[in-house]
Structure formats: C-alpha cells, structure tokens
Amino acid sequence: MPLVGTGAVVTPAARAGHGVGAFNVVQLEHAEAVVDGAAQAGSPVVLQISENAVRYHGALAPLATAVLSIAEAAPVPVAVHLDHATDAVLVDQAVELGFSSVMFDASALDYEDNVRATAKVVARCHTAGVWVEAELGEVGGKDGVHAPGARTSPDEAVAFVAATGVDALAVAVGTSHTMLTRDAVLDFALIRALRAAVPVPLVLHGSSGVADEHLTRAVEHGMTKINIATHLNRVFTTAVRYALAENPGMVDTRRYLAPGRTAMGHEVARLLTVLNAPVVRPAANPVQRTADRIQRTSA
C-alpha cells in the first residue's frame, strides 16, 4: 500500500472510536519492526521521527528518506510524522521531504505565545497540505522530569484549536514522557470532557507509562493517536541484551539487532490490539511475512 496521510488514518479512527498507534523511530530496525507489527495486526500505523532523533543523527534527511521508503513499501497504510519539533525550520524540512504530518511543540511557552507560534506553523503547513498536531498543557518528562499533575483545560483547548487551526491536539491527562514503569494514573473524566468539547482528534503522549487496560480505556473515553516510544525501546533493548548474553563472542550487528527488531514487531502488533486499532486487511502470518521479505530482497 502507498504512504498515506496521517489525517487519513487518525480522523476516521477518531470518528469510529479506534486508537491509532504512533511509534517512534530512532534507527532503521525500529521502522522495520513497527511496519512488521502493523502487518501482523493488519492495521495502519504512524512512524514518528522526533527532534531528539534528528539531533542524534545530525540531520533529518538520511533517516527520513529511509523511513519514507519503508512506509511506501508497507503492506498496510503507514503515515510518517515529525514528532515534538520545537524548531519551525525543522518543520519546513519535514514538509519538503514529504512528511504527511508534523507535531509542533510550543507547549513550554505561555498560552498566548504558544498560540501565535503554532498558528504560524499551521498556516504554512496547511498551504502544503500537511496535517498539524500541537500540545496544550505541557506533558512532562522530555527532560527526565515527570509531571503527572499537568492538566489541559477543556475550555482552553477549545479556544486553542479555534485560534490555531490545528488538526489534532496532544493533551495533558496524567501521563509523562520517558516513564520506565507502567503505572501512570489517567484522568478519564478529563479525557471524556476533552473529547466532548474539542472538535479535533486527541493525542496521548507519554503512553509508555500507561498499563494495557488503561490504554484501552483511554481510547474508549476519547483518545485516538497514542504515542509510544520508551516502552518499545525497552522491549528492543531487552532482546538485544539477551542475544549478546547468550553469545558473548557475537560481533555481527545484524545477529543481535534482528532479535530486537523481531521482539519489537511482536509488541507493536500486541499494542495495536490493546488500542483497538482499525483493521484494514487480514493479519499476516509469520510464514507469509518471511516469504514476502525474501521476495522483496530478491526482487
């Protein structure tokens, strides 16, 4: 299936009460794992590249080019999204490269400055046909400091969407970024109130810290785009550590990265079920996925 727009996945899911998994990519194996997991589940997915990942690689284009190529060859709809961009120049680069959506994060600013900065980005992106997500009510943890007490006001969220024209809104409802435990306490009453008031899909950041049953409830109460990064990094790294411990002399990076990729793919597939993700095609079986990969490699 071809690369798709993020809005084409998220908007109908919001109307139908489904969740959409949005998973962060730091390296090529991450993107391959996410697409493999989406194929296992038969569900659409969003591949996200964060500003921090761009900083790690030194530039957006190399990783973005690879991720866009993987998305274009995927057997299920895959969107490519720029996550947590605080730099408007980086947003422009993503648009030029062919990203279907961006998340512009001015949430550290006061409300009026956030509105002004976000509205400018939205105007430029909409001219290019690019979908824009923003954040209101700063979700903590991006610098290692958890702030589960942050909350987004429904009235302020409505005003913010009207003033900026954003297509989706990340809201603070009890999560925090980079959590290694899955014990975040969500404010489900607030999620319901936000869903009833806000006319665009809602995004849950910091979802790695949320237990499975609460992720399901969050979707049922009105969250749509569910961002998960740290939890999948832990799954990937655990598999790599195990492979290296079992084979101390291993030096071929493919030999230990492959188990990480496989484990992450299985967890993506499982999480898409937890999120009640829309199903767009029958889930692929492992034998068929292997055959498809061999065929693509030999083509």
Predicted confidence at residue 149, as pLDDT, reads 65
**Each residue of 27-46: pLDDT tens digit?**
999 999 999 999 999 999 99
- Nearest Cα neighbor of 221 from 168, 276, 273 is 276
pLDDT of residue 147: 57
- Cβ-in-10-Å burial (0-12, 13-18, 19+) of 88 comes to middle
Q: Which residues are CB-neighbours of 285 under 8 A, at least 6 positions away?
A: none
pLDDT in tens, 240-268: 999 999 999 999 999 999 999 999 999 99
Domains of the chain in sequence order: 6-291 (3.20.20.70)
Asked if 223 contacts 10 with a C-beta cutoff of 8 angstroms, the reply is no
Chain position carrying tokens 């009460």: 17
What integer is the mean pLDDT of 131-146?
64
Q: At what angle do helices 61-72 and 28-41 cross, to 10 degrees?
A: 20
- The string of pLDDT tens digits covering residues 48-60 is 999 999 999 999 9
Which are the contacts of 148, defined by CB distance < 8 A and separation ≥ 6?
A: 140, 174, 175, 176, 184, 185
Q: Active-site residues: which are they?
A: 83
pLDDT of 117 higher than 70: yes
Each residue of 89-111: pLDDT tens digit?
Answer: 999 999 999 999 999 998 888 88
Choice between 298 and 139, residue whose per-residue pLDDT is larger: 139
Q: Token digits for 164?
A: 């900026």
Confidence (pLDDT) at 139: 54
